[in-house]
Amino acid sequence: GEKLRQDYSAALQLRVQECIKSGDETSAVGIARQTYLGKPAAEAAIWLGDRRLALGKAAEAASWYASAAQAGDDETKKSLAGRRALLARFGYAASEKLYRVHDETSFRGSCGFAHVEADVEVPLSAGGSEENSAPWRPAKYGLEAAFRMHGIHVKKPRAMPTRDFNWAGKQTTAVFDQDVVLLANQVELSAVDRNTGLSLWSHWCSVDEAGQQWPLVWMKPIRLDGRVYCRQLTASGPRIVCVDAVDGRALWTSRSTAYAASDPWFVGRELFCVFGEKDGSDLRLSIVEMDASTGEVLRHVPLLSYRDVWEGKLTARVCRSDDRLIVVAADTAIGCDLAGNVLWIRRVPWIWGEWRDWWNGNDWLRREECNPLPVGRYVVFAARGSWCITCVDPKDGNLVWQRTEGRLLSIVGRVGDSIIVRASDGFFTVNADDGGLIDTVSCDRVEDAAVTPDGRYLLVVRLRPKSQNKTDVSLAWFRLPSLEPAGETVLQEFSGDVFAGPLAFADDAMYLLTARASNAAEGTWNRLTPQGSLEEATTDSP
């Protein structure tokens, strides 16, 4: 038996050498995928990785090198060290974030999400004078109008109510890139000078009301190499658009017949996106690699087919954990390598909701889309329609823990070993290691919530109704990870119905979007300006 195995291995190695000499990639792929073959599979995978690296395809190269490391011995793993250094020259590094922007300050414009990158742990600060000088420290604040959010082209989705729910704010995203703010509201992508409030450029497509039935789906822009890439609604559904970062000039729009089911992301300089396409009564999701310069489809990797109960509107959220991509869509988490090849699939308990009617399906619709969250060597996610928080090992999809929460709305973020979760009646924290409950706090009339960039506080935007049809918009602080109240200040009093959120952070300031309920898509981004110490502020407990 041993001699037969050795002879088979020697024959495979000869076959690999023949593939390399003749350039036969098809046969090499067949061998490399069978990692249990050991050294022959490792040699084939390294050759395939080298060929991809020579073409500048860092994600595919990294995928093949990972296969080689899995199949090979210690000597093989040592030989891969130099190739990792080469990958860095192509803009790829193991610690690189999934959503690349000009700097590390970027925000998700949707209530209940961490307004720092969800795939990066929020650090716990050491304390000291830095806390007193931080622009998000507990203090008395007021609102100062900074720039407008023009939503003239936005139509309210039919499933959304007219009052008492900030649907427009949850579809709005702001990315602060030095002195420029990139704004996206599904239909319009624009840039604003945050110092002057002047509009720099705007890009939008003509979309009628029927084409804007994507409620509560936020579409985040990313900037790289002088270009801005964003998912945007068009007459034929969501597409990936690319515009010049300086003047907003349209460079290309994805031409696939499929729709963009996720926001785009980069691995090195390689552009990817999850696309969805109807196939009879089914809906197919695929990861597509595009040429970042032209939008041309370079590669298409099928993921899964679903029974289409979403009327062609299934969306996906993606995060990166080391050398894995985690795609969450409906009741399924899909683990892929960086090139998009499926490695494992895990389903979670899931309940279908009536998403077309607010009054019958608001419990389902209030559940917010949030990206999977890397937590150490694991990944935590909470899919809309699944009233549980699930933690899995990204390497193989094995379940680490799962916590059922009927009051769950979204995962806000992570600080240290604590995961901050928003619930229908407030907030609670769970242990990242086992999912056990740590602390909980009640808080009503919540419009938005975010973890400060230094990880010290959970900031909560609230509405506080008063007499004579007036409402206070307030900001409350909770210390992390204990959720101990640290004070609350009234930002401004409004007459009539008002919406507030999202809350966003720049390096030196906080910004809050406010709008009238009667015209929710047309709002004002306000800078929060310090106006005194917290002792002078309103400190009512939420």
CATH no. for residue 244? 2.130.10.10
Q: What percent of the chain has pLDDT over 90?
A: 44
Of 89, 112, 146, the residue that ends a domain is 89
Q: Which residue has the higher pLDDT, 274 or 467?
A: 274
Residues 423, 522, single domain; the answer is: yes
Residues 150, 77, single domain; the answer is: no
Task: Look at residue 210 and tell me if it is in a domain.
Answer: yes
Residue 542 pLDDT > 70: no
**Stated pTM of the model:** 0.80
pLDDT tier at 106, thresholds 50, 70, 90: very low
Over residues 97-122, the mean pLDDT reads 32
Residues 385, 514, single domain; the answer is: yes
Amino acid letter for position 163? R
Task: Look at residue 52 and tell me if it is in a domain.
Answer: yes
Of 24, 57, 89, the residue that ends a domain is 89
Task: Look at residue 426 and tell me if it is in a domain.
Answer: yes
pLDDT tier at 100, thresholds 50, 70, 90: very low
pLDDT confidence of residue 2? 67
- Beta-carbon contacts of residue 515 (< 8 Å; ≥ 6 apart): 149, 166, 168, 169, 498, 499, 521, 522, 523, 524
Q: Is the preceding omega at residue 481 within 30 degrees of 0, hence cis?
A: yes
Residues 272, 385, single domain; the answer is: yes
- What rounded mean pLDDT belongs to the chain? 83
Identify the bridge partners of residue 431 per DSSP, sorted by sequence position.
418
Residues 457, 384, single domain; the answer is: yes
Query: Residue 460: enclosing H or E segment and its boundaries?
Result: strand 457-465
431, 418 contact by CB (below 8 A)? yes
Residues 77, 152, single domain; the answer is: no
Task: Look at residue 421 and tell me if it is in a domain.
Answer: yes
Residue 477 pLDDT > 90: yes
CATH number for the domain including 60?
1.25.40
Residues 465, 525, single domain; the answer is: yes
Residue 119 pLDDT > 60: no
Residues 424, 485, single domain; the answer is: yes
The token duo for 158 is 């039919």
Task: Tell me which residue range forms the domain holding 40.
Answer: 2-89
Q: pLDDT by residue (tens digit) across 50-79?
A: 887 776 677 778 778 887 887 788 778 777
Residues 66, 178, single domain; the answer is: no
Task: Look at residue 116 and tell me if it is in a domain.
Answer: no
Task: Look at residue 122 and tell me if it is in a domain.
Answer: no
Task: Tell me how many domains the chain contains.
Answer: 2
Task: Look at residue 370 and tell me if it is in a domain.
Answer: yes
417, 431 contact by CB (below 8 A)? yes
Q: Both ends of the chain: CA-CA distance in Å? A: 72
Residues 184, 80, single domain; the answer is: no
223, 204 contact by CB (below 8 A)? no
Task: Look at residue 98 and tell me if it is in a domain.
Answer: no
Residues 26, 161, single domain; the answer is: no
Q: Which residue has the higher pLDDT, 464 or 19?
A: 464
pLDDT confidence of residue 126? 39
Residue 197 DSSP SS3 = coil
pLDDT tier at 390, thresholds 50, 70, 90: very high
